[in-house]
Amino acid sequence: MTTILLTGFEPFGGDSVNPSGEAVGIVAAGWRGPETLVTAVLPVTFDGAAARLAELMAEHSPDVVVATGLAGDRAAISVERVAVNLRDARIADNAGAQPVDAPSVPDAPTAYFATLPVKAIARDIAAAGIPSSVSHSAGTFVCNHVFFTALHESATRGARTGFVHVPWAAEHRSTDASSLPLADIARALEIAVRTSASVTRDLAVSAGTLS
Ligand code: PCA
């Protein structure tokens, strides 16, 4: 039986909601299998989030890990391809930590690639009519840190692992033109989970950018 771990985040930076955590709750409530889906909402703290994710991976031994978070400046679902070994926080996390130029994991590689089929995921989300693209930077805040540490853990555990950034939900930011309906965000995450479970070889098409 395939086990999938899907995570979102709590609110941060003074906001009262985080669409990633809300969307993960919607996916969990509607899940009908056949895979086992384990979901969690992580704290937006460098230390707490990475530790909680490592605990969840040790407890459930997932075959697939899909971590998700908010990228409020983006208009599309971003399927992240690259995690960098860098914590460089422009704002403090929810515990007040604001590391600058610190590695996520000392003495680990500079970066990892996601081990999910990122192009197939972006294609399948777009095919459902939801804007989606492959992204080559998950930033340098808590999301990238969780993405990197999950891939570092996965290197020894063997789980296929990736990260999806979502825009603001229209219900939370009605004036924000780049937002998407929360139901579409949840649908996109469910597609990400299903494609991750079923596709092991990514598409041989370009998802590159010129700048
Ligand atoms: N987004 C932040 C951290 C938590 C979240 O949902 C990020 O992109 O790092």
Q: Is the pLDDT of residue 209 over 90?
A: no
CA of 56 to the centre of ligand 1 (A): 19
pTM of the model: 0.97
Q: What does each C-alpha distance from 106 to 86, 103, 111, 162 come to in angstroms?
A: 10, 6, 12, 21
171 assigned to active site: no
- Name the active-site residue from 143, 153, 171, 190: 143
Quote the pLDDT of residue 210.
84
Contact 160, 63 (CB under 8 A): yes
Average pLDDT over residues 116-129: 98
- Name the active-site residue from 80, 153, 171, 190: 80
Separation CA 47–CA 7 (nearest Å) = 16
Ligand 1 atom nearest to CA at 138? 8
Ligand 1 atom nearest to CA at 145? 9
The secondary structure of the chain in percent helix, strand, coil, rounded to multiples of 5, reads 35, 20, 45
Q: Is the CB of 56 under 6 A from ligand 1?
A: no
CA of 184 to the centre of ligand 1 (A): 19
Q: Is the CB of 141 under 6 A from ligand 1?
A: yes
pLDDT-above-90 percentage for the chain? 89
Quick one: which H or E segment has residue 41? strand 36-42
Task: Tell me the average pLDDT of the chain.
Answer: 96
User: What tokens were used for 99?
Assistant: 């590391």
Three-state SS at 168 = coil
> Which CATH superfamily is 3-198 part of?
Peptidase C15, pyroglutamyl peptidase I-like (3.40.630.20)
Quote the pLDDT of residue 79.
98
Q: Is the CB of 44 under 6 A from ligand 1?
A: yes
Positive or negative, the Cα torsion across 186, 130, 77, 195?
positive
User: What tokens were used for 30?
Assistant: 């509607």
Q: Is the CB of 146 under 6 A from ligand 1?
A: no
80 assigned to active site: yes
Quote the pLDDT of residue 174.
66
pLDDT-above-70 percentage for the chain? 99
